[in-house]
Amino acid sequence: MPELPDIVAYVEALDPRIIGQPLERVRLASPFLLRTIQPTIADVEGRTVREVRRIGKRIAVGVDGELWLVLHLMIAGRLHWRPPKVRLAGRQNLAAFDFPDGSLTLTEAGTKRRASLHILAGDEGLRSVDPGGIDVLTADLDGFRGALAAENHTLKRALTDPRLLSGIGNAYSDEILHAAQLSPLAQTQKLKPAEWDRLFTATHRTLELWIDHLRADAGKGFPEKVTAFRDDMAVHGRYGKPCPVCGEKVLRIRYADNETNYCARCQTGGKVLADRGLSRLLGSDWPRTLEELEALHRK
C-alpha cells in the first residue's frame, strides 16, 4: 500500500502537471470505484484544479467551487501520467482524469477492487475521510509521544493506526522500528524516555530519507515505481536475508495477510518473537532465542 513517502511523491509530481489546469473529463472503467453520489462527476468536470494535498494515505485534488476528488489507492492501486485522452484498456485500468496536457490514470492489480474515489464538498467533506492522525513530519516529540501513548498498544499497531499517526503503514513502520532498535511488540506506555527519543528521531529520519529517495527516483518524471518492497530497505520484505547492520537473518511475524519483519539481534536483544500460527503449532518447541532458532534449523 502506498504510504506517506509514496503519497508525497505523487502529490509533488501532480502539482506542476494539474494545478491551474481544467479537469476536462472523468472516465470510470469500473463503476465500483466511485463511493459517493453527491456531488456528481458532472459537478467537477470542467473545473480548474486549485490544490493537491495528502490526507493520510489519500490524495485529495481540489477544484473550483470547493469540491474535492479524493483517491484512496489501498493496497494495489497506482497512479500513472499518460498522454491526453489515453484509452482505458485492460482489467487493471479503473479510471482516467483528463487534462489538456495528459491523463492521470488509476490502475489496480489483482481481482479485488479496494481502491476508491470520493467526490466531496468543502472542508467538512474532507474531514469525513480523514482518520485524524497527527502529521508526524510536523509534530514535536511531546505531540508524538502523546498520540502514541494515549492508550497502551504495541509499537507496530500504534505506528500503523491512522487515528494516531497520518500515513504510516506496514512497510515504513518496519523500517522505523529497525532504525530505532525497538521491538514491534514493545508497549507504548512502557517505553523509557531514551526509547521515545530514538523512536521519534527514527520516524522523522526514515520518512524523510524515503521521501528524498523517491524524489530522486522520479526526477522530473512521474513516480512509476511505487512499491512496498524495495531492495535497499533494511528489514521490510527481507525475511531470511541479512540485516544490513548486524548480518543476522531478518525474521517475521505473520498475521492475516500481513507480516512484520524485524531483526532479533538489533531490536529484541536476541529474542525470537512468537509467530501466531507456528508458535501455536510448535508449542513449547517454539524457539525463544536466535541460538534456539539456529539449532532448530540444523535439525
Confidence of residue 286 (pLDDT cuts 50, 70, 90): very low
Residue for grid cell 505506528: 159
Within the chain, which residue ranges are assigned CATH 3.20.190.10?
Answer: 4-127
Provide the pLDDT for residue 289.
52
CATH 1.10.8.50 at 141-298, yes or no: yes
- Average pLDDT of the residues of the chain: 90
User: Contact 101/94 with Cβ under 8 angstroms?
Assistant: no
Provide the pLDDT for residue 218.
86
What pairing do the DSSP bridges indicate for beta strands 49-55 and 58-63? antiparallel
Maximum CA extent, the chain: 68
Whole-number Cα distances in Å, 75 to 47, 112, 126, 179, 207 = 29, 10, 21, 24, 19
Provide the pLDDT for residue 279.
45
**In degrees rounded to 5, what are phi and psi of residue 67?**
-105, 150
| 212 contacts: CB under 8 Å, gap ≥ 6 | none
Tell me the per-residue pLDDT of 210-239, one tens digit each, with 9 for 90 and over.
Answer: 999 999 988 889 998 888 888 899 999 999
- Higher-pLDDT residue of 275 and 164 is 164
- Higher-pLDDT residue of 259 and 205 is 205
Provide the pLDDT for residue 283.
44
Provide the pLDDT for residue 288.
52
Provide the pLDDT for residue 259.
87
**C-alpha to C-alpha distance for 263 and 246, rounded to whole angstroms:** 9
User: Contact 114/108 with Cβ under 8 angstroms?
Assistant: yes
Residue 291 CB neighbour total at 10 angstroms: 11
User: Contact 258/75 with Cβ under 8 angstroms?
Assistant: no
pTM of the model: 0.89
Percent of the chain past pLDDT 90, that is, above it, reads 79
- Higher-pLDDT residue of 298 and 65 is 65
- Higher-pLDDT residue of 281 and 95 is 95
CA-CA-CA-CA dihedral for 204, 210, 214, 219, to nearest 10: 70
Tell me the per-residue pLDDT of 87-138, one tens digit each, with 9 for 90 and over.
Answer: 998 889 999 999 999 999 999 988 788 899 999 999 999 999 999 999 999 9
**For 269, left (φ over 0), alpha (ψ -120 to 50), or beta?**
left
| 231 contacts: CB under 8 Å, gap ≥ 6 | none
Classify each residue of 83-94 as buried b or exposed e, where b means 16 or more C-beta atoms within 10 Å of its C-beta: eeebebeeebbb
| 261 bridge partner residues | 252
Within the chain, which residue ranges are assigned CATH 1.10.8.50?
Answer: 141-298
Confidence of residue 281 (pLDDT cuts 50, 70, 90): very low
CATH number of 4-127: 3.20.190.10
Residue 31 has pLDDT above 60, yes or no: yes
| 254 contacts: CB under 8 Å, gap ≥ 6 | 275, 276, 277, 278
Q: Grid coordinates in use for 226?
A: 511505487
Residue 70 has pLDDT above 80, yes or no: yes
Confidence of residue 296 (pLDDT cuts 50, 70, 90): very low
| 198 bridge partner residues | none
Q: Position 172: which residue type?
A: Y
| 296 contacts: CB under 8 Å, gap ≥ 6 | 285, 287
Residue 278 has pLDDT above 50, yes or no: no
Residue 191 has pLDDT above 90, yes or no: yes
